[in-house]
Amino acid sequence: MVVAQTNSSIRLDPASETAPRNVTILGSTGSVGCNTIDLINRQPDNFTVEALTANRNVDGLAEQARHLRPKVAVVADADCYKDLKEALSGTGVEPAAGAEALVEAAGRPADWVMASIVGVAGLAPTLTAVRRGAIIGLANKECLVSAGKVMTAEVARCGATLLPVDSEHSAIFQVFDFENPDKVSRIILTASGGPFRKMSLDDMAAVTREQAVAHPNWDMGAKISIDSATMMNKGLELIEAFHLFPVIEEQIEILVHPQSVVHSMVDYVDGSVLAQMGTPDMRTPIAYALGWPSRMAAPSTRLALEKIGELTFEAPDTGRFPALRLAREALKAGGGAPTVLNAANEVAVKSFLGGRIGFLDIARIVEKTLNSAPLAKLDTLDDVVEIDFSAREIANGLI
């Protein structure tokens, strides 16, 4: 029997289309942000830019601002303000810095906001954009993993629109029948399997930073690449999917698909399985969200199945990739468990990238933190912040 939630965090009534669309990009110097700007540059008459933000990449942010001429450019690190101000001198672009300025940028009157700040640092700005009812291209996993209940409640209350930018959730969005969710049997998230899909545990124990960030199919930042290598990214996407689509946990499955051509699937009660396919290029799901409810052209290489030859699928190995099990257990536990999972993973990944722990220690630290952190309610953003802080302290103590 198919059981489905009655609520979904995705609104289906498109906002009125305006040309040009006014855009804010939170995290403009990261991989997703740069790809968004690439698409905007290809259709400059269709977009204006309200605000750009970065963490501390002053040179990259200033270069983008000089070209796109947003009203404001914000660097999250307050210590970088002087350098940004000097770099933007004479451009007419207002410089700003600090966490409060980041939130203020999200609150500016852009029609569409790309939420691509990595980590919990993106929570408050994204929630600010939600509260003014914006259309949001959601590339920040933590918004739904760490604060799913809080975020989706605010989306419903404020009439905001969440459009998934992850290729997997974008794929599901494109083929999901929201008007008849009871006809959906399951959704199937596909995973590349990362660079260590067939590597032995002994060899994985000796994996280096350079090996782990070298994803076989996708060009991503270091943190996301590590999450792909541990398959934690798929665990986080499992939790995201639960909040994005009207399904229950048991209706979400994961399949390893090394070619990264089928980005995800929806299985219906009549036996039909609808899939969205394409070459592994983040500009495709970004373009879908940026142009929604219409489609816009993207320069992605066109899919040539005759050249690919075969598409293969296999069940994930949760023994070798325990992050999948941990994420599902956290989702079932509910409350602050997913917040703890995400916080511990961020700490562990940072420690691995810094050479303080081994590759296999990442999942071990996450599991020990989950077992040590007290269960807590999750009703407000303050609750999320408190649980996140506590989990990070526990994880750092374990390291």
* Residue 10: alpha-carbon gap to chain centroid: 15
Fold for the domain defined by 21-169? Rossmann fold (3.40.50)
- Answer yes or no: are the C-beta atoms of 100 and 81 closer than 8 Å: no
Rounded mean pLDDT, 113-139: 94
- Answer yes or no: are the C-beta atoms of 291 and 227 closer than 8 Å: no
- As a whole number of angstroms, the distance between CA 354 and CA 376 comes to 30
CA-nearest of 154, 104, 156, 147 to 381 is: 147
- Answer yes or no: are the C-beta atoms of 124 and 381 closer than 8 Å: yes
State residue 73's pLDDT score: 98
State residue 221's pLDDT score: 66
DSSP 8-class letter at 112: E
User: Which of 45-54, 87-96, 194-203, 212-221 comes out lowest in average pLDDT?
Assistant: 212-221
Whether residue 2 is predicted with pLDDT greater than 50 in this model: the reply is: no
Is pTM beyond 0.85? Reply is: yes
Q: Which residues contact 208 (CB under 8 A, 6 or more apart)?
A: none
Q: Where are the chain's structural domains?
A: 21-169, 170-398
State residue 130's pLDDT score: 97
Fold for the domain defined by 170-398? Rna Polymerase Sigma Factor; Chain: A (1.10.1740)
Q: Which residues contact 244 (CB under 8 A, 6 or more apart)?
A: 8, 9, 10, 144, 162, 164, 169, 172, 173
What percent of the chain shows pLDDT beyond 70? 93
Rounded mean pLDDT, 379-397: 93
DSSP bridge partners of 187: 252, 266
Where is 73: in which H helix or E strand? strand 72-75
Residues 202-236: tens digit of each pLDDT: 888 888 888 887 756 555 568 888 998 999 999 99
Residues 173-183: tens digit of each pLDDT: 999 999 999 99
Phi and psi at residue 75, to the nearest 5°: -110, 130
State residue 218's pLDDT score: 52
Q: Mean pLDDT over all residues of the chain?
A: 91
Whether residue 330 is predicted with pLDDT greater than 70 in this model: the reply is: yes
- Answer yes or no: are the C-beta atoms of 209 and 341 closer than 8 Å: no
DSSP 8-class letter at 283: H
Please report the sign of the dihedral spanned by the C-alpha atoms of residue 142, residue 214, residue 327, residue 174.
positive
C-alpha dist (Å) from residue 174 to 180, 248, 302, 332? 14, 19, 18, 26
User: Which of 155-159, 196-200, 214-218, 237-241 comes out lowest in average pLDDT?
Assistant: 214-218
What percent of the chain shows pLDDT beyond 90? 79
Whether residue 17 is predicted with pLDDT greater than 60 in this model: the reply is: no
- Answer yes or no: are the C-beta atoms of 353 and 226 closer than 8 Å: yes
